[in-house]
Each structure stands twice: as C-alpha cells, then as structure tokens.
Amino acid sequence: MCGRYTLRRADVVRNALNAMSGSLFEEFTERPHFNVAPSQQIPVVRVNREGKRTLDFAQWGLIPSWTKNTPKAQPINARAETLADRAMFRSAFERRRCLIPADGFYEWKADPSGGGKQPWFFHFKDDRIFAFAGLWERWKPGEGAEPVDTCTIITTTPNAVVKPIHDRMPVILARENYDQWLDRDVPSSEVVNCLRPHPADEMEAYRVSKRVNRAGEEGMDLATPIE
C-alpha cells in the first residue's frame, strides 16, 4: 500500500505538471510537506471543461458519489488489478482519473530487532517531482450540504527497489501518459497499460526515522537517511 508520502517542493509542482492553481494551493506551498497522511486535503491535478490541467484539493480516502451515509471504509489505495471489477472504483476509473503530485513515499518493513515496523523512504535518484495515478469522486454528505471531493492512490506490484520492503507500490505514471490518463474521453480499457511498476533503476530507498509513523509529525529529518 501507500499510506504516507512527501511533497517537499510543492512550489515547483505547477511547472512540473503544467497545471494552473488557485489561492488554496498558494497557501499549501508555504511550507514543505514531509508526512502527507490519509484524511488530509491533498493536491490533485484534473482537467477542467476547457481541457486545461488544474491543481485542486481532495480528501485522501475515497467516498463514492452514490454513498448515502459516511462509510466506515474510505480506501486510501485501490489495487490496479481490480479497478474495473469493484463498484467502489469502477466509475471513477472510467471518468474521474487524476494525478497526485509527490516527490517521495514511505513503506514499512518489520524490524528484525522487534522494535515494530521500520519505515523506508523511496524517491527518484534525481529527486524530481512525479505523479501517482489517482482516482477522485465528488460526494454530497446530505441535503443542502457542500459536496466533498475525495481521492485514492492506485497501487501495483513492486519493482526491484520496493520488493524487499513491501509487496505493493504506488503507480507512478510516466510523464508521456499524463494526458491520456487525464482524458475523460479515453476509456479505462486504454489506460490499463499505464498501471505498471516504475522502472527500478531510476529509484532508490533508505531507512528513515520511526517518527514518520505518527501522522502529526513533520520536518526534514523524516526523509533523512539513518544508519
């Protein structure tokens, strides 16, 4: 799964993903984000009616639009292999795909010393901004209530860097697939091939502080290697 990630240089996301942003995103860029966690409002890139990419926000944890009451299960991840089969994701996979900007993510492995799970940090060797493949939904809690946008990150089988640590990894989309992924007129059957493990030779991983295990923690040391 992917349960935490980083966006340390949010100020360069607009140029990296060629997207327009509003005042809310300006506020988001005022500090780096080393521990983005579920239930938070996170940046997502979508295409508006004019066909332009926009940077918006959605709550991390998907709630399908047809849900009547607040569900107990709000998936933060969706398995690439079953998107077309599960009712919770099928409609969003067809019409509401998004990019979720990041520059690193965390996965956990059991600590052989018995000290709980050890977090590892994964990123590109050149530390560039990238985009997870995401899905989004617009849910209305009730009559007269404001709609809520929610999202989830798609996962796939791990590449050679992630596999020693975890049996899943987030889908990192190739830049050349961004337009196709975001295009609502492109059927889901034509974007399935985008949902593959990213080449391992461009990535690296290292152990980091267990402070990242707590969602409220922040600071550059969370993504700093430890011995």
Report the C-alpha gap between 72 and 83 in whole angstroms: 20
Token pair 């969602």: residue: 215
Q: Residue 147, Cβ neighbours under 10 Å: how many?
A: 11
Token pair 């600590």: residue: 111
Six-digit token string for 2: 């992917």
Token pair 């940046």: residue: 43
SS3 label, residue 120: strand
Report the C-alpha gap between 39 and 42 in whole angstroms: 9
Token pair 């992630």: residue: 162
Report the C-alpha gap between 99 and 181 in whole angstroms: 8
Six-digit token string for 200: 């391992």
Question: Does the annotation count 107 as an active-site position?
Answer: yes
Report the C-alpha gap between 181 and 98 in whole angstroms: 7
Question: Does the annotation count 194 as an active-site position?
Answer: no
Q: Which of 98, 107, 137, 151 is catalytic?
A: 107
Q: Which of 2, 98, 151, 194 is catalytic?
A: 2
Q: Please give the positions annotated as active site.
A: 2, 107
